[in-house]
Amino acid sequence: MSDQNREMFTRRKMLTGMASIALGGVVGSPSGVAAEEQPVVPDAPPLPWKWVELDPLEAGRRAYQFYKKGGCGTGSYLGLLSLLKEKVGFPWTTLPDNLFAFGAAGFGGHGTLCGALGGSACIINLITYEPGKAGITAQMIDRLFWWYAKQEFPTDRFDDLSPLPGQIKVAAKSPLCHTSVSSWTLAAGAEVTSQEKVERCAKLCGEVVYTVVLALNEYYAGRWTPPVWKPSEQIKHCVECHGPDTMDHDTDGMNQQQGHMECLMCHEDHTI
């Protein structure tokens, strides 16, 4: 073999070997990178998930601060979740931090359910739900919403975090964002884009989470008793006729409504 042919053969052999190495690196790896062994992530366990006693004030303070970063859905959800990730770990660590970002301003800005209630209700469900035993979950969420509607917000519990302490307090009247916020802004002479409204809702978010942690701590200590819902005097006759006041549709009444919201916010009293 001539020196020229020998040089060509050697070069061809070298290029062929390099191509084989490159090809071998992509076999079984669509990305073109040698496949690496991935850690096995266990499946999330069935509900209910583990709860440990949490500090309600710490959870509420976190909710206040997370509100400033992502709104009421994120604030309530992460106020609870961040502590559960630290104190319990798996399976809470499998949940994404931004899961309830869409809850801001009454879910997508639509002014429906307050996001602080939505994010909290999600965590309550994960902690208390058991197949065939959904009653406690429903009771705890229902009573939370009932408490919220009667509560005057903002409380002063988180005033030490706020640049605007001592704000005017107004009853939410409803679990709906639209009613809760509008009732306050009208009384306070504030706009929904104002810093005053931001502080009000951040404190509200903290108070909701504070209350949820108190209830869950009591529940797992065997001390929680669901409050008995009673309609206000203004709507008592409404529920008696148009009931039921629960999901039990075999109760007496015309069965034309369900729920525990105040009727006269939206309806006229047709008995007068």
- The pLDDT tens digits for 71-106 are 999 999 999 999 999 999 999 999 999 999 999 999
Asked whether residue 21 carries a pLDDT value surpassing 50, the answer given is: no
Q: Which two tokens stand for residue 72?
A: 């009421």
Tell me, yes or no, whether 13 lies in a domain. no
Q: What is the DSSP letter of 264?
A: G
Residues 238 and 223 in one domain: no
Q: Are 212 and 224 in contact (CB under 8 A)?
A: no
Q: Are 90 and 39 in contact (CB under 8 A)?
A: no
Nearest Cα neighbor of 204 from 51, 28, 22, 79 is 79
State the residue for tokens 């964002």: 177
Q: What is the pLDDT of residues 103-129, one digit of tens each?
A: 999 999 999 999 999 999 999 999 999
Residues 208 and 255 in one domain: no
Asked whether residue 40 carries a pLDDT value surpassing 60, the answer given is: yes
Residues 212 and 93 in one domain: yes
Its pTM stands at: 0.78
**3-state SS string for 85-136:** HHHCCCCHHHCCCCCCHHHCCCCCCCCCECHHHHHHHHHHHHHHCCCCCCHH
Q: Are 242 and 256 in contact (CB under 8 A)?
A: yes
Tell me, yes or no, whether 200 lies in a domain. yes
Tell me, yes or no, whether 36 lies in a domain. no
Please state, in angstroms and rounded to a whole number, the distance separating the CA atoms of residues 199 and 187: 15
Give counts: helices (H), strands (E), the chain: 7, 2
Asked whether residue 191 carries a pLDDT value surpassing 70, the answer given is: yes
Higher pLDDT, 133 or 216: 216
pLDDT band at 233 (very low <50, low <70, confident <90, very high): low
Tell me, yes or no, whether 127 lies in a domain. yes
What phi and psi, each to the nearest 5 degrees, are found at residue 47? -75, 155
Residues 253 and 163 in one domain: no
Please state, in angstroms and rounded to a whole number, the distance separating the CA atoms of residues 191 and 165: 18
Residues 223 and 271 in one domain: no
Residues 155 and 209 in one domain: yes
Q: What is the DSSP letter of 170?
A: E
Please state, in angstroms and rounded to a whole number, the distance separating the CA atoms of residues 202 and 158: 9
Residues 141 and 235 in one domain: no
- pLDDT on residue 125: 97
Asked whether residue 230 carries a pLDDT value surpassing 80, the answer given is: no
Please state, in angstroms and rounded to a whole number, the distance separating the CA atoms of residues 122 and 141: 9
Residues 71 and 170 in one domain: yes
Residue 97 is part of which domain span? 56-227
Which residues, in sequence order, are CB contacts of 255 under 8 Å at separation 6+?
Answer: 242, 243, 244, 249
Per the structure, the count of domains in the chain is 2
The DSSP-derived string for 195-250 is HHHHHHHHHHHHHHHHHHHHHHHHHHTT---PPPP---TTTHHHHHHH--SSS-TT
How far lies 91's CA from each of 94, 127, 160, in Å?
Answer: 6, 11, 33
Residues 261 and 154 in one domain: no
